[in-house]
């Protein structure tokens, strides 16, 4: 008998027993935190898994199957032109404009396909941070100065963080570059222009289904919001045509799915999740029962879902217990946060960056949260710090990043975001408080 292992088991069992023995069940804050964790997880499952994550899983699966490693390495690999690599990573993130969780399957897809750590983490930050609509709304609601500072900060952050990650882990990147040099060029399964239209159709579905409601009722953003389901339908129809024309999918399968979705639109007017869910089921059946090519696409998408979704749901559950939802408290009293972010001290900026990094922000929700915090006395510097750290990171996000790139790289990435957000907040607060 190995007594060392047995002592570890005894300590583990004892710790679990003491945890349950002293569990503060019956105390209002604890009971409320448990309820809030389930409220947030329920909201996340309803609002983000179907509309955000599932399209992202299909895109990530398509990247793994239909984009050659040579193509990824050419533009984002360890030996790619750095200006081109970081430019592509930043622009790609701004076009998608997704939240900190939705970007994860896409990040995992390009990283595992051979993208360098620097460009991959630049994309990881830019996806949720450089959200054009969020920046415009920040300027409208919180002031033009804060909107401009957020835009400039996010663009600079994505590039600087990527370069810093590359330099810190340059030894591993050199090994990766040497390994990539030995990989022969692969033939792409489809021409570039076909792949571009194929990915554009899926990206259009992802972007427009999640197009946030603007503050005003007029203007371009409001027009797009009011027509977003028509735009989504257009891109879904385009995807169906592409699958039939270029991927040898049976036309009657696509037609049957489109018919079922159309019927549900008529039966459930205004309840867009129902026909969208039917479309997801349809595309899953079409790809999983199709030819080898579409079967690989579905299998790859399913692998990403299995790896990422459980960690995300666990992270959201923990985030809900600790921080609650907007307007509802978890274990950590909201008053603590409000008291800690007043003024423009190092402590206030660091706390705003740190708290923002662990909170979960759905796209655009950071703006009303900040509006309330500023009204309660939050300083301008900490406000910018939270805007730069919050949307790009979250506790669920960190759990998945760790699973993709490991503990050390995740710790360095999170630290870089928090430190840079803190410094940026202090500089901004010194000039504009």
Residue 184 has pLDDT above 70, yes or no: no
pLDDT, residue 215, reads 66
Residue at 22 is within a domain: no
pLDDT in tens, 204-248: 898 888 877 776 677 777 888 889 999 999 999 999 999 999 988
Residues above pLDDT 90, as percent of the chain? 19
Residue 186 has pLDDT above 60, yes or no: no
pLDDT, residue 94, reads 62
Cα–Cα dist 398/20, whole Å: 27
pLDDT, residue 260, reads 93
- Domain range enclosing 207: 36-249+290-432
Residue 253: band (very low, low, confident or very high) from pLDDT cuts 50, 70, 90: very high
In sequence order, the 6+-apart residues with CB closer than 8 A to the CB of 244 are 250, 251, 254
Mean pLDDT of the chain: 83
Question: Which region among 28-32, 95-99, 303-307, 379-383 has the lowest average model confidence (pLDDT)?
Answer: 95-99
Residue at 262 is within a domain: no
pLDDT, residue 178, reads 65
pLDDT, residue 2, reads 66
Q: Is the Cα torsion angle 273, 275, 276, 277 positive or negative in sign?
A: positive
pLDDT, residue 224, reads 86
Residue at 259 is within a domain: no
Bridge partners (DSSP) listed for residue 342: 378
Residue 390 has pLDDT above 70, yes or no: yes
Output the furthest CA–CA distance in the chain (Å, rounded): 74
Residue at 187 is within a domain: yes
Q: Are 122 and 161 in contact (CB under 8 A)?
A: yes
Residue at 361 is within a domain: yes
Q: Which long-range contacts (CB under 8 A, 24 or more apart) does 147-154 make?
A: 149/384, 149/424, 149/428, 150/384, 150/387, 150/388, 153/384, 153/387, 153/388, 153/424, 154/125, 154/126, 154/129, 154/130, 154/388, 154/392
| Burial (CB count within 10 angstroms: exposed 0-12, middle 13-18, buried 19+), residue 423 | middle
Residue at 226 is within a domain: yes
pLDDT, residue 263, reads 92
Which whole number is the average pLDDT over 152-168? Answer: 89
Residue 24 has pLDDT above 70, yes or no: yes
Q: Are 235 and 276 in contact (CB under 8 A)?
A: no
Residue 3: band (very low, low, confident or very high) from pLDDT cuts 50, 70, 90: low
pLDDT, residue 210, reads 80
Cα–Cα dist 380/277, whole Å: 42
pLDDT, residue 256, reads 94
pLDDT, residue 342, reads 75
What total number of domains does the chain contain?
Answer: 1
pLDDT in tens, 85-139: 887 777 766 666 667 777 888 888 888 887 888 888 988 888 777 777 677 777 7
Residue at 5 is within a domain: no
Question: Which region among 22-26, 68-72, 277-281, 407-411 has the lowest average model confidence (pLDDT)?
Answer: 68-72
Residue 81: HSE in the Cβ half-sphere, 13 Å Cα cutoff: 6
What single DSSP character describes residue 49?
I
Residue 77 has pLDDT above 80, yes or no: no
pLDDT, residue 187, reads 58
Residue 363: band (very low, low, confident or very high) from pLDDT cuts 50, 70, 90: low
Question: Which region among 6-20, 143-157, 166-180 has the lowest average model confidence (pLDDT)?
Answer: 166-180
pLDDT, residue 421, reads 93
Residue at 298 is within a domain: yes
Residue 411 has pLDDT above 90, yes or no: yes
pLDDT, residue 408, reads 93
pLDDT in tens, 272-316: 888 999 999 999 999 988 888 889 999 989 988 888 888 888 888
């Amino acid at each position: 008998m190995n007594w060392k292992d047995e002592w570890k088991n005894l300590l583990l069992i004892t710790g679990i027993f003491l945890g349950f023995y002293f569990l503060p069940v019956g105390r209002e804050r604890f009971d409320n935190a448990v309820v809030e964790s389930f409220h947030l997880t329920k909201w996340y499952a309803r609002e983000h898994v179907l509309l955000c994550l599932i399209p992202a899983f299909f895109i990530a699966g398509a990247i793994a199957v239909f984009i050659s490693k040579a193509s990824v390495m050419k533009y984002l690999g360890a030996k790619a032109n750095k200006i081109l690599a970081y430019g592509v990573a930043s622009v790609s993130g701004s076009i998608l404009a997704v939240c900190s969780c939705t970007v994860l399957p896409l990040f995992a897809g390009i990283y595992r396909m051979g993208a360098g750590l620097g460009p991959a983490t630049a994309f990881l930050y830019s996806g949720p941070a450089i959200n054009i609509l969020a920046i415009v709304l920040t300027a409208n609601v919180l002031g033009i100065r804060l909107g401009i500072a957020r835009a400039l900060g996010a663009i600079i952050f994505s590039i600087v963080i990527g370069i810093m990650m590359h330099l810190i882990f340059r030894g591993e990147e050199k090994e990766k570059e040497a390994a990539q040099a030995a990989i022969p060029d692969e033939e792409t399964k489809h021409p570039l222009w076909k792949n571009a239209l194929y990915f554009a159709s899926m990206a259009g579905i992802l972007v427009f289904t999640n197009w946030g409601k603007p503050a005003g009722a007029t203007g371009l953003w409001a027009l797009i919001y009011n027509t977003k389901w028509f735009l989504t339908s257009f891109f879904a129809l385009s995807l169906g045509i592409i699958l039939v024309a270029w991927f040898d999918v049976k036309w009657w399968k696509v037609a049957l799915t489109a018919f079922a979705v159309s019927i549900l639109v008529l039966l459930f007017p205004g309840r867009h999740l129902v026909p969208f869910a039917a479309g997801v089921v349809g595309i899953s059946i079409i790809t999983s029962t199709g030819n080898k090519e579409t079967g690989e696409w579905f299998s790859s998408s399913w692998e990403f879902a299995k790896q990422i979704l459980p960690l995300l749901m666990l992270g959201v559950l923990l985030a809900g217990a600790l921080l609650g939802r907007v307007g509802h408290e978890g274990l950590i009293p909201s008053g603590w946060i409000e008291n800690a972010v007043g003024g423009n001290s190092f402590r206030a900026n660091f706390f705003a960056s740190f708290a923002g990094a662990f909170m979960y922000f759905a796209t655009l929700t950071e703006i009303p949260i900040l509006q309330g915090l500023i009204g309660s006395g939050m300083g301008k510097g900490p406000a910018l710090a939270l805007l730069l750290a919050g949307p790009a990171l979250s506790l669920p996000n960190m759990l998945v990043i760790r699973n993709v790139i490991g503990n050390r790289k995740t710790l360095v990435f999170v630290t870089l975001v928090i430190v840079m957000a803190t410094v940026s907040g202090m500089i901004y607060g010194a000039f504009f408080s």
